[in-house]
Copies of this chain bind each other. A is one copy, B any other.
Amino acid sequence: QDLDLASIYVSDAQYNRNIYFDTSPQAVRLYLRYNHWLPQVLLYFFILVDLCLALFEEPSVIPLPTWATMLVELLCLLVFTVRLVHYARVIPRDKFWKDPKNICIIVILTLTLIDMIVYGALKASNCYAVRWSRVLRPLLLVNVTEGRQLRRAFRSIRNALPQILYVFLLFMFSLLIFSLMALKLLGKRGLKTTDGAPYFTNYLGIIFELYVLVTTANSPDVMMPAYNASSVFAIFFILYILVNTYIFMSVFLAVVYNNYKKYLKEEVRQLVRAKRHKMVRAFALLQEQRQEGGEPVVSQASWNQLVRLVQPDISNAHRELLWSVSDDQNQGCIGKVAFVQLADLLNIEVITLKSRPHPLRNMCPSLYLSAPSRLLCRLVQHRAFVIVYDLIILMNAVFIGLDEENPMIANSDFWNWFDTIIVVAALIATIINSAMKSSGGYTSRQILDIVFILRVLRLTRVVDSIKRFRTIINTLIRIGPAILTFGQLIIVVYYIFAMVGMELFKGKVKFYEEGSSDPEKVFCGNPLLKQTAFAHLNYCKNNFNDVVSSFVLLVELTVVNQCSGFAAVTHVSARIFFVLFHIVVVIIIINIFVAFVLEAFFVEYSVGKSDLQTSLERKIEELELAVTQYLEDNLVNAMEYNDQGTSQSAHRKPGLMFKIASKRYKTVDALLQRMFENDLDPEDFAESDESGGNFDNPTFSSV
């Protein structure tokens, strides 16, 4: 009983779940079910289905009847409700109603239901109806219990907002003053833009143009009429670019970076305290008094049971290793401090290597151990061989690039043969794969494309073999999981803007397929676009006519804020939508993303492995179980060394080795924690003992 509860606390600490659940046996059983992977996967699946409904709803990519999408949506709502009810039964009632994320979900579900009923009724009576509740859908992603990282990202944005606002107001003030100057300097000169429209005569128009200049989208077009009139006006624009594009945008980054770091650090600090608190509770459940008046301890037996409960798939060797790290003095029991480490230890990925002999050696030892075979082994594993092989891949890549143009190179038979052999494996795999997946959907051309890309991807091998690059690549890979959180963040924001954008702009710009001979094609099916740059540059497919186009367009807008076309087909005020998008996505989210990359890079470059990992590694080395750097120098040597069973540690099977897999982190929290580890108060642990329950984690409160 206690053990079950303790294992839940440890598991919660490991995965940073901050759910305050009832400790009655029934609630604990429900809670275990709530945390099972299956309902979680199902939940995300149904959220995905719910979000993907936009593909089939009006304006749709693949049209489906309204009743079908409505039915699916109802099913989704049902799933979400069930999940919520399950959650309500796990945690005490008062906690449930105090938690804003539950209220959010209830509101979203209610509003969606109302909207569906209203929409259905209006549609049935052939009235105009808008499915406005669709903008609420991505908010589910934020408010489900599993959306911890996402909520944290939103919280740190919300906390940074006041500071950003001050800089933004100052930026707006600068923008307004520059616009006023521009109006006075240029408004009455009767200048014309290339379209023949009056240049800089409308104050609001100037503000917008200068705002867009900050995004660099209309540079240098916006200054050309003035610059053509007199070179002196270039000074005005250069000054503007210096102040607003360079200095203010840097200050935005600085403020976002500063605040993001500050608040995230605070959040992570609370996270760590909550984690330690949970571990202390687990400890309290398992503790026993060895000596009278002594410190309470946890015995190895109950520790083993606990770990087996928390992580059933853990190998015995791995578990023993963790124990020997925790129980440093080999006392057969551990105190509170060592016990609390367990959550972090479990998060370190350890690879158990069994040094098996080569299969050939088992099957045919005389052949494998013969002189030519040994020579081959040495040859293949020699550094020079790797280099030569990399060079061949590199040269091959050059020829892939060149063979398009130069028939002589294309005909050089050797490279074709080389290519053929190398590619065959990938080709076969791909053909089987694609044949199984689609029956006739792919053309042979497309399959070939994929193979070519696979062929090209081998090149990463070359880069990875150069040490200097590897550190940078590792940094990039390590921030990968965290980028997924930003991906979710971006999707939430994009989805909302896409839904609004589709209501505002759907059908205004039409795209005609390549072969179409429709005369309206030259102006994207909208006479208002005649002779505009939008139509001239063939941007017709950049529209809000379905959710896929909308997403692609929003990506384009993130890179460069081009929206003149949409203002032309609707109203000048449509620009507000695009400015708002720029502020939210570029000024806030992209800057946070850049701040995160900067911080992660600095941490990776400056800090070594975290302390806990090092202590684990030290233990592994101490026990002579480490896969040493022999592996890197010469694999054969290392293998021989291990094959001879020279491992001297008595209490472990020889031939079993450990290696810390993760420079990567199992959870994003671990990376965040590491990012701010240096700034975390080292006495925080001692505090968490005393402060007991009164830490103020926003979503977790204790008895």
- The reply to whether B560 and A216 form a contact with Cβ atoms under 8 Å apart is yes
Task: State in angstroms the CA–CA spacing of A295 and B148 once bound together.
Answer: 64
A100 at the interface (CB under 8 A from B): no
- The reply to whether B537 and A602 form a contact with Cβ atoms under 8 Å apart is no
- The reply to whether A180 and B216 form a contact with Cβ atoms under 8 Å apart is no
A456 at the interface (CB under 8 A from B): yes
| Residue among B220, B245, B253, B601 making CB contact with A562, cutoff 8 Å | B220
- The reply to whether B220 and A542 form a contact with Cβ atoms under 8 Å apart is yes
Binds B, one of A182-190, A350-358, A567-575, A686-694: A182-190
Question: Whole-angstrom distance from the CB of A616 to the nearest CB of chain B?
Answer: 28
- A588-608 contacts to B (CB < 8 Å): 590, 593-594, 597-598, 601-602, 605
Q: Given A549-B231, A556-B220, A449 and B184 touching (CB < 8 A)? A: yes
A28 at the interface (CB under 8 A from B): no
Binds B, one of A83-91, A268-276, A468-476: A468-476
Contact with B along A247-276 (1 / 0, CB 8 A): 100110111011000000000000000000
A221 at the interface (CB under 8 A from B): yes
- The reply to whether B166 and A536 form a contact with Cβ atoms under 8 Å apart is no
Name the B residues within 8 Å of A121 (CB-CB).
Answer: none
Task: State in angstroms the CA–CA spacing of A176 and B560 once bound together.
Answer: 23
Closest to A593 in B: B246
Q: Given A552-B234, A598-B250, A601-B251, A559 and B180 touching (CB < 8 A)? A: no
Q: Given A405-B202, A593-B250, A538 and B180 touching (CB < 8 A)? A: no
A418 at the interface (CB under 8 A from B): no
- The reply to whether B224 and A537 form a contact with Cβ atoms under 8 Å apart is yes
- The reply to whether A238 and B555 form a contact with Cβ atoms under 8 Å apart is yes
- The reply to whether A463 and B170 form a contact with Cβ atoms under 8 Å apart is yes
- The reply to whether A597 and B183 form a contact with Cβ atoms under 8 Å apart is no
A388 at the interface (CB under 8 A from B): no
- The reply to whether A227 and B597 form a contact with Cβ atoms under 8 Å apart is no
A385 at the interface (CB under 8 A from B): no
| Residue among B404, B456, B562 making CB contact with A181, cutoff 8 Å | B456
- The reply to whether B401 and A183 form a contact with Cβ atoms under 8 Å apart is yes
Task: State in angstroms the CA–CA spacing of A246 and B560 once bound together.
Answer: 13
- A458-473 contacts to B (CB < 8 Å): 459-460, 463, 468-469, 472-473
A685 at the interface (CB under 8 A from B): no
A194 at the interface (CB under 8 A from B): yes
A169 at the interface (CB under 8 A from B): yes
| Residue among B177, B402, B594 making CB contact with A250, cutoff 8 Å | B594
- The reply to whether B231 and A548 form a contact with Cβ atoms under 8 Å apart is yes
Name the B residues within 8 Å of A473 (CB-CB).
Answer: 170
Question: Whole-angstrom distance from the CB of A186 to the nearest CB of chain B?
Answer: 9
- The reply to whether B402 and A247 form a contact with Cβ atoms under 8 Å apart is no
Q: Given A170-B472, A445-B188, A552 and B231 touching (CB < 8 A)? A: yes
Name the B residues within 8 Å of A397 (CB-CB).
Answer: 176, 180
- The reply to whether B404 and A219 form a contact with Cβ atoms under 8 Å apart is no
Task: State in angstroms the CA–CA spacing of A569 and B225 once bound together.
Answer: 23
- The reply to whether A536 and B194 form a contact with Cβ atoms under 8 Å apart is yes
Closest to A259 in B: B605
A695 at the interface (CB under 8 A from B): no
Closest to A227 in B: B541
Task: State in angstroms the CA–CA spacing of A189 and B445 once bound together.
Answer: 9
| Residue among B180, B220, B254, B559 making CB contact with A456, cutoff 8 Å | B180
Chain A residues bordering chain B, tally (CB within 8 A): 89
A26 at the interface (CB under 8 A from B): no
> Chain A's interface: helix, strand, loop or mixed, by majority?
helix
Question: Whole-angstrom distance from the CB of A163 to the nearest CB of chain B?
Answer: 9
Question: Whole-angstrom distance from the CB of A548 to the nearest CB of chain B?
Answer: 6
| Residue among B203, B255, B453, B538 making CB contact with A228, cutoff 8 Å | B538
Name the B residues within 8 Å of A472 (CB-CB).
Answer: 166-167, 170, 251
A201 at the interface (CB under 8 A from B): yes
A514 at the interface (CB under 8 A from B): yes
- The reply to whether A250 and B602 form a contact with Cβ atoms under 8 Å apart is no
Q: Given A180-B400, A400-B180, A597 and B216 touching (CB < 8 A)? A: no
- A204-233 contacts to B (CB < 8 Å): 216, 219-221, 223-225, 227-229, 231
- The reply to whether B184 and A456 form a contact with Cβ atoms under 8 Å apart is yes
A154 at the interface (CB under 8 A from B): no
Task: State in angstroms the CA–CA spacing of A249 and B540 once bound together.
Answer: 30
Name the B residues within 8 Å of A181 (CB-CB).
Answer: 452-453, 456
Task: State in angstroms the CA–CA spacing of A383 and B460 once bound together.
Answer: 66
Name the B residues within 8 Å of A183 (CB-CB).
Answer: 401, 404
Question: Whole-angstrom distance from the CB of A457 to the nearest CB of chain B?
Answer: 8
Name the B residues within 8 Å of A539 (CB-CB).
Answer: 220, 224
A241 at the interface (CB under 8 A from B): yes
Task: State in angstroms the CA–CA spacing of A246 and B245 once bound together.
Answer: 17
- The reply to whether A559 and B598 form a contact with Cβ atoms under 8 Å apart is no
A45 at the interface (CB under 8 A from B): no
Question: Whole-angstrom distance from the CB of A164 to the nearest CB of chain B?
Answer: 11
Name the B residues within 8 Å of A457 (CB-CB).
Answer: 177
- The reply to whether B250 and A597 form a contact with Cβ atoms under 8 Å apart is yes
Known pairs A176-B397, A180-B397, A258-B602. 18 more at Cβ < 8 A?
A: A177-B457, A180-B400, A180-B456, A184-B449, A194-B538, A220-B556, A225-B538, A231-B548, A231-B549, A234-B552, A234-B555, A241-B559, A247-B476, A247-B597, A251-B472, A251-B475, A251-B476, A254-B602
Could you list which residues of chain A lie within 8 angstroms of chain B, going by C-beta atoms? 166-167, 169-170, 173, 176-177, 179-181, 183-185, 187-188, 194, 201-203, 216, 219-221, 223-225, 227-229, 231, 234, 238, 241, 245-247, 250-251, 253-255, 257-258, 397, 400-402, 404-405, 445, 449, 452-453, 456-457, 459-460, 463, 468-469, 472-473, 475-476, 511, 514, 536-542, 548-549, 552, 555-556, 559-560, 562, 590, 593-594, 597-598, 601-602, 605
**A and B contact pairs by CB, cutoff 8 A, 6 listed:** A166-B468, A177-B456, A184-B400, A187-B404, A203-B402, A220-B542
